[in-house]
Structures are given as structure tokens and as C-alpha cells.
Amino acid sequence: MMIADLIRATRTVRRYREDLAIGDAVLRGLVDLARLGGSAGNRQPLRYTIVTDQRLREQVFPCLGWAGYLRDWPGPAEGERPAAYIVCLLDRDRSGAAEKHAHIDLGIATQNLLLGAAEQGIYGCRIASVAPAIKRVLGVDERYGFLLVVALGYPAEQVVLEEGGGDDPVRYWRDKNGVHHVPKRRLDDVLLLPGKTAGE
């Protein structure tokens, strides 16, 4: 796939084929892509924990907040839950002054990961809405700050991009056929002319 097509295809997916496991080598390969991303000061403070064990997945799942705009949907039902998680942590002993840029590193790293996954037909969801209990569930040492969970699996839902015009180009929605629609602001709405940045 050309990079532009891959970027368009790399959408957030929240319902998965839970019966289809993702192999350890594939998951390690995704972390390998994540670790190659740019890093402030090249400090590379991000660490990753791969979770595939079913009992641990069952403990991670209740910590996660899904799709805030889909008010009537509590998250994926049994059978549609993630087949794996990659939990992103910050090694405070390795971040130094670059700690303030850790979230930029995180965006780059997780986009690498999700692009590499999509290329293999695996999709995911970054989840920042996570209960603090996740650190206890995973036995995370004080040295590590929790950053993000990336849920992963083979997709069990269709997602389509929309050109988001109007007043609310933000809210994603699900239609009566269960297709997830995700609006994006139009190109001309995100391009600001130099000297014209004071208002819209």
C-alpha cells in the first residue's frame, strides 16, 4: 500500500475478532516499529508491555474507557474485545529533561505501531482514558509512568472517513448498520494563511 493509502486506512477500530490471536512475533515487530520513532534528545524513554494472556486481558479491560461520544455503547462485548494490548510506559530514569516531550514521542511511536499493524490487517485503538488500577493490574514499578494503552485485534467493524464540515466536525458516530463514521476537518479548514491566525 502507498503511504497515503495506509494513513487513510489506519483508523481507530474498537470491535475485534477476539477469537483471532495476534502472534508474539507480530506484536514484537510492532514494538520494534514504535521504538524506531523520533525522540526528543534521542532519550528514547518509552517502554512497552505486551499483554496477550487471557486472564490478564480480562483484568485490563475493565480499566479502559471506550468511545466517549457513543453514549449508549459501553465498549466491546465479549467476543469483540481486543486480542492484545500494548501498554506504553515512561521510564522516568531515562527521560531526563526530555520528559516534557514524552507525549510527542508517544504520538510518533504509536502511529508507527498502528501503521505497521494496519499494513497487516490488524487495527487498534489508543486509549488514554484508563483507570489508575492498570498499574496494579500489570505490576508496574514506581519508576515507570503510565502513558497509554493501545488495544489491538483483527477488525470486526467497518470504519469510514467523512469530510467533516459544519459546526461539529468532531463527533464520530455509528449508523444503523453498525458502520463507524469518523469525521475529519476539511483541508481548507485546517490550513491557516500566515498573518491570518487570529480567528477562523
Ligand X SMILES: Cc1cc2nc3c(=O)[nH]c(=O)nc-3n(C[C@H](O)[C@H](O)[C@H](O)COP(=O)(O)O)c2cc1C
Site for ligand X, rule CB under 6 A: 11-12, 14, 65-67, 125-129, 172, 182
Nearest distance from C-beta of residue 7 to ligand X, angstroms: 10
Nearest distance from C-beta of residue 11 to ligand X, angstroms: 4
Nearer to ligand X, 128 or 192 (CB): 128
Nearer to ligand X, 69 or 96 (CB): 69
Are 86 and 152 spatial neighbours (Cβ–Cβ below 8 Å)? Answer: yes
Nearer to ligand X, 144 or 172 (CB): 172
From 157, 169, 190, select the one nearest 73 (Cα to Cα): 157
171: cell is 463527533
Using CB positions, name the residue nearest to ligand X. 129
From 112, 110, 118, 172, select the one nearest 8 (Cα to Cα): 118
Nearer to ligand X, 20 or 170 (CB): 170
Are 109 and 103 spatial neighbours (Cβ–Cβ below 8 Å)? Answer: no
Nearest distance from C-beta of residue 51 to ligand X, angstroms: 16
Transcribe 25-56 into DSSP letters: HHHHHHHHHHHTS--GGG---EEEEEE--HHH
Nearest distance from C-beta of residue 14 to ligand X, angstroms: 6
